[in-house]
Amino acid sequence: MTDSRWVGRSYETAPYEVTEQSIRDYMAAVGDLREDGELIAPPTFAMVYGFDAYWQLWTDQEVALDVAHLVHGEQRFSFQRPVRPGDRIRTTGRLIAINTRGDMELVTFELKARDAEDRPVSDGTALFIIRKP
Amino acid sequence: MKTMSTLDFEHVSPGLALPPLTKHVTVDQIRQYAEASGDRNPIHLDETFARSAGLPGVIAHGMLTMAFANQMVTDWLGDRSLLKSLHGRFAGMVLPGDDVTCSGSVASKDDETRRVVINLVVTNQRGEKVFNKGVAEAEFSPQKEQ
């Protein structure tokens, strides 16, 4: 069981520099290849520019989530504006709840992404499920 | 390169079904997604590790399935910038070799705010839900003056 005293801990990514290549690599990986004149990232690219916040949570040795038994249970995103090459995005993730349901542990992680001018880009909420081994 | 043309808000009505989208998931695609997203968790890449974690083998990232649902909605909208929110539950594992199909329909439409709510689900080739309680919201641009 993860210690509930870590609720409230937050993690910030370094600024993620969005490039045409990073968007195209993501589009190729998921097979979402449609584009118009202007290149706009698929909205779920939020998982890419924000990924380091998730990674910091998963690898935090003090919180010590049992990542071998962790699965992504639920995800919510809100998009305040489209993401284009040249954007510099910083994401802050915060561990906001640890609950138990039966023999599962539920970890809620909230994310806020902002651009170089500190304007909102997207928000996210992830629910991770840790199955007891 | 495929091009997109934006859906006409006037053509949207509650109950309207979106064109479904089917994807065949492969080990190569999961690896490619791991590279593009940075998520190299071994449950997605290492068969031995995945089995030791109690899984049937490597599994696809939940966010890959959500990306498919995203694509179904934005292909229909014809403009990625119209999508304002996306939510859902990863209800089942997606394994290499699975064929997953995204489907959805318009739940509601608000003429004042020009917002449209879409319910969506992703099922595998056995009809099992792998992503459920999916909801997407889109907001169309203000109507141009006539």
Instruction: Write the residue in A32, A67, A69 that is nearest to B67 by C-beta.
Output: A32
Pairing state between β A70-79 and B83-90: antiparallel
Look at residues B111, B108, B91 and name the one whose alpha carbon lies nearest to residue B100: B91
Give the burial string for A32-70 (b: 16+ CB within 10 Å, else e): beebbeebbbbbbbbbbbbbbbbbbbbeeeebebebbbb
**What pLDDT digit, counting tens, does each position of A60-85 carry?**
999 999 988 888 999 999 999 999 99
pLDDT tier, B1 (very low <50, low <70, confident <90, very high otherwise) = very low
Minimal Cα distance from B4: which residue of A? A36
Distance to chain A for B24, nearest Cα, Å: 10
pLDDT of residue B145: 53
pLDDT of residue B4: 61
CB atoms within 10 A of CB A87: 20
Averaged pLDDT, B90-97: 97
Averaged pLDDT, B125-145: 92
Instruction: Write the residue in B32, B38, B87 that is nearest to A28 by C-beta.
Output: B32
ipTM summary value: 0.94
pLDDT of residue A69: 86
Q: Are A111 and A53 in contact (CB under 8 A)?
A: yes
Is the pTM value of this prediction over 0.80? Answer: yes
Distance to chain B for A98, nearest Cα, Å: 18
Q: Do A51 and B37 touch (CB under 8 A)?
A: yes
pLDDT of residue A131: 86
- Write out the residue range of the structural domain in which residue A65 sits: 4-131
- What SS3 string covers chain B? CCCCCCCCHHHCCCCCECCCEEEECCHHHHHHHHHHHCCCCHHHCCHHHHHHCCCCCCCCCHHHHHHHHHHHHHHHHCCHHHEEEEEEEECCCCCCCCEEEEEEEEEEEECCCCEEEEEEEEECCCCCEEEEEEEEEEECCCCCCC
CB atoms within 10 A of CB B13: 9
What's A123's domain CATH number?
3.10.129.10
* Average pLDDT over all residues of chain B: 94
More confident residue, B30 or A2: B30
Whether B126 shows a pLDDT value over 60: the answer reads yes
Averaged pLDDT, B106-113: 97
CB interface of B with A, residues 26-55, below 8 Å:
29, 32-33, 35-39, 41, 43, 49, 52-54
List, in order of start, the domains of chain B with CATH numbers.
12-25+59-139 (3.10.129.10)
* DSSP notation for chain A: ---GGGTT-EEEPPPEE--HHHHHHHHHHHT-----SS----GGGHHHHTHHHHHHHHT-TTT---GGGEEEEEEEEEESS---TT-EEEEEEEEEEEEEETTEEEEEEEEEEE-TTS-EEEEEEEEEEEE--
Whether B97 shows a pLDDT value over 50: the answer reads yes
Averaged pLDDT, B39-46: 93
**What pLDDT digit, counting tens, does each position of A90-128 carry?**
999 999 999 999 999 999 999 999 999 999 999 999 999
The Cα-based distances of B113 to A79, B13, B14, B136, B137 in angstroms read 16, 15, 15, 15, 12
- What is the number of domains present in chain A? 1
Averaged pLDDT, B21-27: 98
Q: Do B4 and A35 touch (CB under 8 A)?
A: yes
- Cα–Cα distance measured from residue B40 to residue B33, given in angstroms and rounded to the nearest whole number: 9
Q: Are B70 and B18 in contact (CB under 8 A)?
A: no
**What pLDDT digit, counting tens, does each position of A2-61 carry?**
888 999 999 999 999 999 999 999 999 999 998 877 899 999 999 999 999 999 999 999
